[in-house]
Amino acid sequence: MPVATTARFETRLFIANEFVDAADGSTFPTVNPATGELLAQVAEAKAADVDRAVAAARAAFEGGDWRTMSARDRGRLLYRLADLIEREIDEIARIETLDNGKPIFESRQIDLPEAISILRYYAGWADKWQGEVIPVAGPFLNYTLREPTGVVAAIVPWNFPIVIAMWKIAPALACGNTVILKPAEETPLSTLRLAALAREAGFPPGVWNVVPGYGEVTGAALVRHPGVDKIAFTGSTETGRIIMREAAATLKNVQLELGGKSPNIIFADADPEAAVRGAAVGIFYGKGEVCSAGSRLLVQRSIHDVFLEKLVERAKKTVPGDPLDPKTRLGALVSERQMQRVLGYVDTGKREGATLLCGGARVGERGYYVSATVFDRVQPDMTIAQEEIFGPVLATLTFEDEEEAIAIANRTMYGLAAGIWTRDVKKAHRVARAIQAGTVWINTFNRYDPASPFGGTKQSGFGRDLGMHALNEYTQVKSVWVDLS
């Protein structure tokens, strides 16, 4: 398939409904990971550009059409944007795949439909997130107002550029905030395209801004800026720590969705076919560049050999291919750096004594492809059982019984998600309670829905995206007292 021409990409900053160059004319490259070729030079926002974006977002928040717009009309804008994305779904999915390397099947059939349904979900909430009247003592009327938090900086990673941006932007706008989006430097193109659609949908200037650039420059400028009220961040735990520290100076509201090392626990009484599929999809979907990837496979000893045999058979059939081919299920890793990082972990796994059952190598010399990789005989304290690899690399551990499965599952600093495979209903719910994670999937994995909250515990972060829970994250409660005596 021919690569789309750069003319189809929007590459400038989006501030106050205008596409503009960076003040000092800086740009940075974004590459197609399937080929290693340059896709586009994108404007790089520096401190001066961040100042402009914050000024635009503040002006829109504090006065003008957005401030006075009814909640219902805000919802209508979100609905309209969802329709516009649907109109251009093929093109935007293609941009996402070109920039990220994920299979077009995932961009077109999963990510974009999900982004659209997130927008519609929060469009519906816009006029339903209401305050309450509280029965206080004495001759008083006491009620609460739910007010928007203010200017929200959404700083997002490269693995689901549009979906995770929507996790933040849709509830933020539904609640009346204004937003400055900082896409990841690896994948700025799809959300710039969305900005053009947001303008077409009718969002007033300054409500929706996009400032591509590097984390330590553009992201850091947003985190330090006194005109930003909230940082809604998804990314690595390491960056989350920096953001929390830096945001302390201006006491910003910070929400952190961070990394994971999620256990996928296979009990001997699981439906074998479903569990093998769940284990494979849990790690190979999204190239394993998924925060909730089931990257630690915990298999009960009595079924270990049979299970691993079937899993490896399946992994060997999961061959990386051209992301633009609709049949491809394993794409290219996002960057050369990420590929090297993943291959480095493969070496560490071998060095520390784990057994490599399949994969573990780069595929081809052009583009950043890594084969579906399964390690066995991994011990709970090995590096590949503790650190987030963020690639198609599975670490298999073995357990005897329920108690040991729970102990191993919880033996990590992360607490993002977990999978449990069993036909025993009581055991499933017992283990779900015992696992330290923000999400537990029973006999399924990687399920998401706009209505269901998602977020971490422990060092996977705090706060919740999605669901009605996210509405709390983007509003503050004001208590109003009236003397009736």
Catalytic positions: 257, 291
Contact pattern for ligand NAD over residues 364 through 383, marking x by CB under 6 A: --------------------
Asked if 396 touches ligand NAD (CB under 6 A), the answer is no
Q: Which is nearer to ligand NAD, 144 or 472 (CB)?
A: 472
Residue selected from 49, 99, 388, 473 as contacting ligand NAD according to rule CB under 6 A: 388
Q: Which is nearer to ligand NAD, 134 or 451 (CB)?
A: 451
Asked if 260 touches ligand NAD (CB under 6 A), the answer is yes
Asked if 422 touches ligand NAD (CB under 6 A), the answer is no
Asked if 49 touches ligand NAD (CB under 6 A), the answer is no
Residue selected from 10, 96, 114, 257 as contacting ligand NAD according to rule CB under 6 A: 257
Structure tokens at 256: 């952190």
Contacts of 316-320 with C-beta under 8 Å, sequence gap 24+, read 316/358, 316/372, 318/280, 318/284, 318/372, 318/392, 319/363, 319/371, 319/372, 320/363, 320/369, 320/370, 320/371, 320/372
Residue selected from 162, 223, 395, 440 as contacting ligand NAD according to rule CB under 6 A: 223
Q: Least distance to ligand NAD from the beta carbon of 440, Å?
A: 15
Asked if 159 touches ligand NAD (CB under 6 A), the answer is yes
What CA dihedral angle connects 425, 431, 434 and 440, to 10 degrees? -90
Residue selected from 242, 244, 268, 274 as contacting ligand NAD according to rule CB under 6 A: 242
Look up residue 321 and give its DSSP letter: -
Alpha-carbon distance 376 to 308, whole Å? Answer: 8
Asked if 34 touches ligand NAD (CB under 6 A), the answer is no
R_g (Cα) of the chain, nearest Å? 23
Alpha-carbon distance 348 to 383, whole Å? Answer: 7
Binding segment for ligand NAD among 239-247, 261-269, 279-287, 444-452 (CB under 6 A)? 239-247
Asked if 212 touches ligand NAD (CB under 6 A), the answer is no
Contact pattern for ligand NAD over residues 160 through 199, marking x by CB under 6 A: ----x-----------------x-xx--------------
Asked if 259 touches ligand NAD (CB under 6 A), the answer is yes
Asked if 458 touches ligand NAD (CB under 6 A), the answer is no
Binding segment for ligand NAD among 71-79, 142-150, 156-164, 360-368 (CB under 6 A)? 156-164
Asked if 321 touches ligand NAD (CB under 6 A), the answer is no
Q: Which is nearer to ligand NAD, 61 or 414 (CB)?
A: 414
Nearest to 392 by CA among 459, 463, 333, 475: 333
Query: Across the strands, what pairs with 415?
Result: 457
Taking CA 338 as the corner, what is the angle to CA 343 and CA 333, rounded to the nearest 5 degrees? 95
Residues 6+ away with beta carbon under 8 Å from 197: 81, 84, 85, 88
Binding segment for ligand NAD among 81-89, 254-262, 268-276, 362-370 (CB under 6 A)? 254-262
Q: Which is nearer to ligand NAD, 215 or 320 (CB)?
A: 215
Binding segment for ligand NAD among 26-34, 238-246, 352-360, 427-435 (CB under 6 A)? 238-246
Asked if 286 touches ligand NAD (CB under 6 A), the answer is no
Alpha-carbon distance 258 to 265, whole Å? Answer: 21
Q: Least distance to ligand NAD from the beta carbon of 469, Å?
A: 13
Q: Which is nearer to ligand NAD, 216 or 305 (CB)?
A: 216
Q: Provide the 10 A C-beta neighbour count for residue 424.
A: 15
The 3-class SS string of 428-455 reads HHHHHHHCCCCEEEECCCCCCCCCCCEC
Contacts of 86-90 with C-beta under 8 Å, sequence gap 24+, read 86/116, 88/193, 88/197, 89/113, 89/116
Cβ distance 204 to 65 under 8 Å?
Answer: yes
Asked if 282 touches ligand NAD (CB under 6 A), the answer is no
Query: Across the strands, what pairs with 13?
Result: 20
Taking CA 346 as the corner, what is the angle to CA 328 and CA 100, rounded to the nearest 5 degrees? 35
Asked if 118 touches ligand NAD (CB under 6 A), the answer is no
Query: Across the strands, what pairs with 133?
Result: 143
Asked if 457 touches ligand NAD (CB under 6 A), the answer is no
SS3 306: helix
Cβ distance 32 to 3 under 8 Å?
Answer: yes
Asked if 220 touches ligand NAD (CB under 6 A), the answer is yes
Residue selected from 216, 309, 336, 403 as contacting ligand NAD according to rule CB under 6 A: 216
Contact residues toward ligand NAD (CB under 6 A) are: 155-159, 164, 182, 184-185, 214-216, 219-220, 223, 234-236, 239, 242-243, 257-260, 291, 388, 390, 416, 456, 460-461
